């Protein structure tokens, strides 16, 4: 397991984001690490601008995740992994430290699923909506796109390789962000296209509160990436927060224990990012690699 930690700032904001754990998609990695690093940095700066201006943690994580959804190098939004029938079915969630949450699953019309998840949280009485139609996207003033917008040629090639047995289905492509703002509020957001070649209608952990996302003020905000079914079974995001809240573990200790017991010992891999109530940032994964950006200022530490 690899763990990276950033000490808490003196009352200032903190931000971390991930672009997925595991290996790179061959068709998307021909230019090396440069484009991935650029995408991570641009997404980090989108969120940091919000925090630096005194903005809310929720606004920051949504800005970062929306930027990653717009970048076809990452498995969320445009450029998402495709189902076995060649469709893009997108999942996303947001949660604030005050306990509010919203999510969508198998979304096909919102250009930025994370913003639709936020709309579900803020403008409906629901938490999770499956298969939201274009009319719901329009109703909340968000940009509507046709399903083909999300499909890129590199992802078509990846699906072909998986279906004909030349490649394994990637289980780790997800993006997410966590933040603590200057007022001490925390928030988390997660977004994904799921697993290449998955069955139509399959939903992983990303839109499931407590599995792929969780936030509680004064405790932590967590966003996960990895084998979704394992994160659901282990309720991984909530398990980290519970270790802190009920067992008195510090952030790194809680994450290490959860990853070991709920992932490693069960033969699963993945990673997560978290920010504590004090602003400390921890990034951890037991997969071969994990794209991440983390910091307490405008220049983040990057891992690609």
List domains and CATH numbers for the chain. 2-303 (3.60.20.30)
For residue 173, what pLDDT is reported? 77
Q: Is 303 helix (H, G, I), strand (E, B) or coil?
A: strand
Q: Which residue has the tokens 């904001």?
A: 13
Query: Rounded distance, CA 53 to CA 15, Å?
Result: 14
For residue 270, what pLDDT is reported? 94
Query: Rounded distance, CA 186 to CA 215, Å?
Result: 7
| 258 classed as catalytic | no
Query: Rounded distance, CA 142 to CA 138, Å?
Result: 6
Nearest Cα to Cα of residue 185 among 36, 25, 43, 14: 14
Exposed/middle/buried for residue 189 (C-beta within 10 Å: 0-12, 13-18, 19+): buried
For residue 217, what pLDDT is reported? 98
Active-site position among 83, 96, 152, 174? 174
Find residue 18's DSSP bridge partners.
176, 292
Q: What is the DSSP letter of 150?
A: G
Q: Which residue has the tokens 């996302």?
A: 213
pLDDT band at 30 (very low <50, low <70, confident <90, very high): very low
Q: Is 2 helix (H, G, I), strand (E, B) or coil?
A: strand
Exposed/middle/buried for residue 35 (C-beta within 10 Å: 0-12, 13-18, 19+): middle
Nearest Cα to Cα of residue 88 among 174, 177, 198: 198
For residue 92, what pLDDT is reported? 98
For residue 20, what pLDDT is reported? 87
Q: What is the mean pLDDT of residues 238-255?
A: 98
- Write out the two tokens for 155: 């992802």
Give me the count of residues in the chain. 304
Is a pLDDT exceeding 80 seen at residue 28? no
Q: What is the mean pLDDT of residues 82-87?
A: 96
CB atoms within 10 A of CB 148: 9
pLDDT band at 31 (very low <50, low <70, confident <90, very high): very low
Query: Rounded distance, CA 172 to CA 19, Å?
Result: 9
The model's pLDDT over 118-176, given as tens digits with 9 standing for 90+, comes to 999 999 999 999 999 999 999 999 999 999 999 999 999 999 999 998 766 665 579 99
For the chain, give the percent of residues with pLDDT over 70. Answer: 94
Q: Angle, nearest 10°, between helix axes 113-123 and 57-69?
A: 150
Query: Rounded distance, CA 250 to CA 111, Å?
Result: 37
For residue 158, what pLDDT is reported? 93
For residue 304, what pLDDT is reported? 78
| Torsion, Cα of 77, 173, 255, 234 (10° steps) | 100
For residue 89, what pLDDT is reported? 98
pTM here?
Answer: 0.95
Lowest model confidence (mean pLDDT) among 29-33, 84-88, 204-208, 293-297 = 29-33
Higher pLDDT pick, 23 / 253: 253
Query: Rounded distance, CA 263 to CA 267, Å?
Result: 6
Q: Is 11 helix (H, G, I), strand (E, B) or coil?
A: coil
Q: What is the mean pLDDT of residues 50-56?
A: 98
- Average pLDDT along the chain: 94
For residue 11, what pLDDT is reported? 83
Query: Rounded distance, CA 141 to CA 147, Å?
Result: 18
């Amino acid at each position: 397991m690899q763990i990276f930690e950033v000490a808490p700032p003196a009352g200032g904001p903190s931000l971390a984001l991930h672009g997925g754990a595991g290996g790179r998609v061959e068709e998307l990695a021909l230019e090396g690490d440069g484009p991935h690093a650029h995408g991570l940095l641009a997404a980090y700066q989108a969120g940091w601008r919000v925090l630096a201006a005194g903005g809310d943690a929720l606004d920051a994580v949504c800005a970062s995740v929306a930027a990653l959804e717009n970048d076809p190098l990452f498995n969320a939004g445009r450029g998402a992994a495709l189902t076995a029938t060649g469709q893009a079915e997108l999942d996303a969630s947001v949660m604030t430290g005050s306990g509010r949450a919203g999510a969508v699953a198998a979304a096909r019309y919102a250009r930025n699923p994370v913003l639709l998840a936020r709309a579900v949280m803020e403008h409906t009485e629901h938490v999770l909506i499956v298969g939201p139609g274009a009319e719901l996207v329009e109703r909340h003033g968000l940009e509507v796109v046709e399903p083909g917008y999300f499909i890129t040629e590199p992802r078509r090639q990846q699906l072909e390789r998986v279906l004909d047995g030349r490649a394994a289905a990637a289980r780790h492509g997800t993006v997410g962000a966590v933040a603590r703002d200057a007022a001490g509020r925390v928030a988390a957001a997660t977004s994904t296209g799921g697993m290449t070649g998955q069955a139509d209608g399959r939903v992983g952990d990303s839109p499931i509160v407590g599995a792929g996302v969780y936030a509680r003020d004064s405790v932590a905000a967590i966003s996960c990436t990895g084998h979704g079914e394992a994160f659901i079974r282990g309720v991984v995001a909530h398990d980290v927060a519970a270790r802190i809240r009920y067992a008195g573990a510090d952030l790194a200790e809680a994450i290490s224990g959860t990853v070991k017991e709920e992932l490693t010992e069960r033969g699963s891999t993945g990673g997560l990012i978290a920010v504590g109530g004090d602003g400390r940032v921890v990034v951890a994964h037991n997969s071969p690699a994990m794209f991440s950006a983390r910091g307490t200022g405008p220049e983040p530490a990057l891992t690609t």
